Structure 1
Amino acid sequence: MKIAIIGGGAAGLMAAITAKRLNNKIDIDIFDINKAVGKKILASGNGRCNISNTEISFENYIGENPAFVIDALKQFDFNAFEKFCKTIGLILDIKSSCKVYPLSNEAKSVVNLFENELINLGIKQILETKIVKIKKENEKFILQSLNKEFNNYDKVLISSGLQAAPQLNSTEDGISIATSFKHSFNLTYPSLVGLHTDFEYKSKLQGVKKESTVSLYIDKQKQKEITGDVLFTKYGVSGFAILDISQYAVYPLSLYQDVAISINLFPNLTKNELLGILENLFKTLKHSDVFTALSGIVSRKLALVILEMNNINKELKSKDINAKHIRAIVNSLTNLRFKIEDTQGFKHAEASGGGVRTDEVDSKTYESKFCKNLYFAGEVLDIVGNRGGFNLHFAWASGYLAGKSLAKQ
C-alpha cells in the first residue's frame, strides 16, 4: 500500500510515524513545499516551541463545531502525547502554567527528532515540491506538482495547513484540493494576531505595555472579556490579551460587523477605588502639575494621552483639578474604547481560523465523507485553538487519528 502525505508539519509528521509504526509494510511519501519538514514548528513559541498543554478540552478550540476535536483529544490526550515523545527521544518540560515545551527549550530539537524517526522508519521526504492538484482514477490517487506527476497512491492525507505565516511558504492549496473533491470550507482568517484600531493617539502610545482587561463588543454587544498584557503599537494593539481576544474578533470583522474593544487599564481596582487613589494623589502633589501627578500611576506616555483626550492642560496644578476632570480620567483609564479596523494579517498571525468544514470529515478517522481514502488533519480543518500549545496539540492528535486510519489495509 502506498500513501501520500501533503504537508510535513506537525499533523503530517505525526500521521506518517503513527501509520508506519502500525503497518511497516506500507510505503509513505511526505511532500513539503519547503527545503525541510517542520518549518512552522521551528517558528512556534518564538523558537522555543510551546508544544502542547496539560489541560486541554474542546472548549479551548474555535470553529463551526469545536466538539469535532473531542474524539482526537480522548484518544490522544497529553499523557499519550508525552509517551509518544519519549519514543522518539523528546523529553518535555511541563510548566506550572500547564504549557509544555521541549526540555531543550529549542524548537529545532523537536524537528530534528521527528526527522530522525522518519529516517529510521524509511519514510520518504519529497521536498521543495508543491502539490497543486490531486485526481482519483480507478481507486488510485494521482498527485500533480508544478512540473511532475506522482502516481498510484492508495490513500492521501491533506495536512498542508492554511495561510498563517506565508513567509514560511504557507498556502491554502489544501482547500483548493478539498474543493476539487466536493468539499466546502468556511472563510479563513488570521488568528492570534495584532489588531489595527481607529484610536487617534495610537502612535503616541507606541511601546506602552500594561496588564489590562480587554472587552470585545460585536455590533455594540459585549461578547468576550480577557485579562492579560496589552501592548500599544503604531498600528493599534498587541500583547497576549489582544492575541487571545483576536480569535473572537477577526471573523466578525471579516463579515463587516462593527467590532470594538474596551481596555480597562486597572482591572484589579473598582472605579471608586481608582477615583479615591487619584483624589489622594492630586491632594498629595497639589503644587505639582497634573501630568507629573498622573505619571505616578501610569506611564508618562499614557498620562499625556489621557490628559489630551480629556482636554486637560498638562501644566494645570493638581490643586486646581476639579471632580469632573477626575471622573473623566477614571473613565478613560477603565474604559479606553476604540473600533477595530483591520488586523496585522496572516504574515503576523500565529494561526489561521476557518478551513475545510468539519461536518464533512469523520471525527474518529479523519477520512473525507465524500471521497474514500482521502483524509484531512491539522490546521487545514476549520478548527483553531487558543494560545498556549492548543493548536500544536490538535495537530498532533488529528495526525495520530489520521495515521491510524492510513495504516489500515
Structure 2
Amino acid sequence: MKIAIIGAGAAGVMAAITAKRLNKDLYIDIFDINNLIGKKILASGNGRCNISNTTITQDNYIGENPSFVNQALKEFDFKAFENFCKSIGLILDIKDSSKVYPLSNEAKSVVLLLEKELENLQINQILETKIEKVIKKEDSFILKSEDKEFKDYDKVLISSGLQAAPQLNSTEDGIDIATSFNHSFNPTYPSLVGLQTDFEFKSKLQGVKKEATVTLYIDKQKEKEITGDILFTKYGVSGFAILDISQYAVYALSLYQDVAISINLFPTLTKNELLGIIETLFKTIPKSDAIDALTGVVSKKLAMVLLDINNINKDIKSADINAKQLRAIINTLTNMRFKIDGTQGFKHAEASGGGIRTDEVDNKTFESKLCKNLYFAGEVLDIVGNRGGFNLHFAWASGFLVGKSISKL
C-alpha cells in the first residue's frame, strides 16, 4: 500500500512514523515545501520548543466544534506522547506550569530525532516540493507539483498547515486541495498574535511592559479575562496576556463583531488601595512635578500619558492634583480601554485559526467524510489551541490517529 503525506510538520511526521511502525509493508512518501522537516517545530517556543502540555482538555481549543479534539486527546494523551518521545530517544523537561520542553532545551534536537526515525523506518522524504493539486482517479490518487506528477497512492494525508508564519513557507494549499474534493472551510485568521488598537497615545507608550489583567469585551459584553505580561507597542499591544486573549479577540473580529479590551495595570490592588498609595506619594513630595511623583509607581512614559489622557497640565505639581483628577488617574490605571481594530497578521502569528470544517471529518480516524482514503491532521483543520504547547499536542495527537487509520489495509 502506498501513502502520500503532504506536509512534514508535527502531524505529518507523527502519522508517517505511527503508520510505518504498525505496518512495515507500507510505502510512504512525505512531501514538504521546505528543505527539511519540522520548520514550525524549530520555531516553537522561540527555538526551545514548547512541545506539549501535561494538562490538556477540550477547553484549551477554539473552533466551530472544539469537542472534535476529544477522541484524539483520549487516545493520545500526554502519557502516550511521553512514551513516543522515549521511543525516539527524546527526554522531556516538564515544568511546574505544565508546559513541556525537550530536556536539551533545543527544538533542533526534536527535529533531528524525528528525522532519524523517518530514516530508520525508510520513510521517503520528498523535500523542496510544493504539491499544488491532488486528483483521485478510481481508487488511487495523483499528486501534482509545478513540474512533476506522483502517482498511484492508495491514501493521502493533508497536514500542510495554514498561513501562520509565511516566512517559513506556510501556505493554505491544503485548503485549496480540500475544496477540490468539495470540502468547505471556515475563514482563516491569525491567532496568538499582537493586537492593533485605536489608542491615541500608543506610540508614546511603546516599550512599556507590565503585569496586568486584560479583559476582553465582544459586542460590549465581557467575554474573557487573562492576567499576564503586556507590552505596549507602536501598533497597539502585545505580550503573553495579549497573545492569549488574541485567540478570542481575533475570532470575534473574523465574525465582524465589535472587539475592545480593558487593561488593569494593578490587578493585585483595589482601586481604593491604589488611590491611597498615590495620595500618600503626592503628600510626601508635594513640590515635585506630578509626572516625576508618578514614576514612583509607573514608568515615566506611562506617567506622561496618564496626564495626557485626562487633560491634566504636564507641569502640575503633586500638591495641585485635585480629588477629581486623582480619581481619573486611578480609573485609567485600572481600566484603560480601547477598541481592537486589527492584528499584526499571519507573519507575526504563532498559529492560524479557521480551516477545514471538522463536521466533514471523522473524529476517530480523521478521514474525510466526503472522500474515502483522504485524511486531514493538524493546523489545516478548524481547531486552534491556546499558547502553551496545545497546538503542537493536537498536531501529534491527530497525526497519531491518522497513522493508526492509514496503516490498515
Shorter-chain TM-score: which interval? Answer: over 0.9
Alpha-carbon offset, residue 405 of structure 1: 0.4
What are the equivalent positions in structure 2 for 1:153-168 lying under 5 Å apart?
153-168=153-168
- 1:60 corresponding residue in structure 2: 60
- 2:37 counterpart of 1:37: yes
Letter in 2 for 1:46: N
Letter in 1 for 2:320: D
SS in 1 for 2:315: coil
SS in 2 for 1:33: coil
- 2:258 counterpart of 1:258: yes
Which segments of 5 or more consecutive residues in structure 2 lack a partner in the other structure? none
- 2:136 counterpart of 1:136: yes
Alpha-carbon offset, residue 254 of structure 1: 2.5
* Distance in 2 of aligned mates of 1:253 and 1:382: 16
RMSD: 0.7
Alpha-carbon offset, residue 255 of structure 1: 2.9
What are the equivalent positions in structure 2 for 1:9-408 lying under 5 Å apart?
9-408=9-408
Per-residue CA shift, 1:102-136, capped at 9, x if unaligned? 00000011000000000000000001111111111
Task: Name the TM-score, length of structure 1 as normaliser.
Answer: 0.99
* Distance in 2 of aligned mates of 1:291 and 1:34: 53
Moved more, 266-275 or 379-388: 266-275
Letter in 2 for 1:400: F
SS in 2 for 1:156: strand
Alpha-carbon offset, residue 293 of structure 1: 1.0
* Identical positions, percent: 79
* Distance in 2 of aligned mates of 1:242 and 1:101: 22
Alpha-carbon offset, residue 314 of structure 1: 2.6
SS in 1 for 2:132: strand
* Distance in 1 of aligned mates of 2:321 and 2:3: 74
Letter in 2 for 1:50: N
* Distance in 1 of aligned mates of 2:406 and 2:91: 27
Moved more, 184-193 or 253-262: 253-262
* Distance in 1 of aligned mates of 2:283 and 2:229: 31
Letter in 1 for 2:311: N
* Distance in 2 of aligned mates of 1:272 and 1:118: 61
Letter in 2 for 1:77: D
* Distance in 2 of aligned mates of 1:254 and 1:356: 16
SS in 1 for 2:222: strand
Letter in 2 for 1:375: Y
* Distance in 2 of aligned mates of 1:239 and 1:26: 45
Per-residue CA shift, 1:262-289, capped at 9, x if unaligned? 1010111111111111111111111211
Letter in 2 for 1:166: P
* Distance in 2 of aligned mates of 1:378 and 1:356: 10
Letter in 1 for 2:255: L
SS in 2 for 1:150: strand
* Distance in 2 of aligned mates of 1:150 and 1:134: 10
Moved more, 21-30 or 255-264: 255-264
Letter in 2 for 1:66: P
Letter in 2 for 1:143: L
* Distance in 2 of aligned mates of 1:255 and 1:397: 29
Alpha-carbon offset, residue 251 of structure 1: 2.0
Per-residue CA shift, 1:179-223, capped at 9, x if unaligned? 111111001000000001111111111110001011111111111
Alpha-carbon offset, residue 138 of structure 1: 1.6
Letter in 2 for 1:403: G
SS in 1 for 2:312: coil
* Distance in 2 of aligned mates of 1:32 and 1:321: 63
Task: Name the TM-score, length of structure 2 as normaliser.
Answer: 0.99
SS in 2 for 1:227: strand
Moved more, 310-319 or 29-38: 310-319
Per-residue CA shift, 1:12-60, capped at 9, x if unaligned? 0000000000000000000000111100100010000000000111110
Letter in 2 for 1:348: H
SS in 1 for 2:214: strand
Letter in 1 for 2:76: F
* Distance in 1 of aligned mates of 2:64 and 2:198: 29
* Distance in 2 of aligned mates of 1:218 and 1:72: 31
* Aligned residue-pair number: 409
* Distance in 2 of aligned mates of 1:287 and 1:155: 78
SS in 2 for 1:131: coil
Letter in 2 for 1:208: V
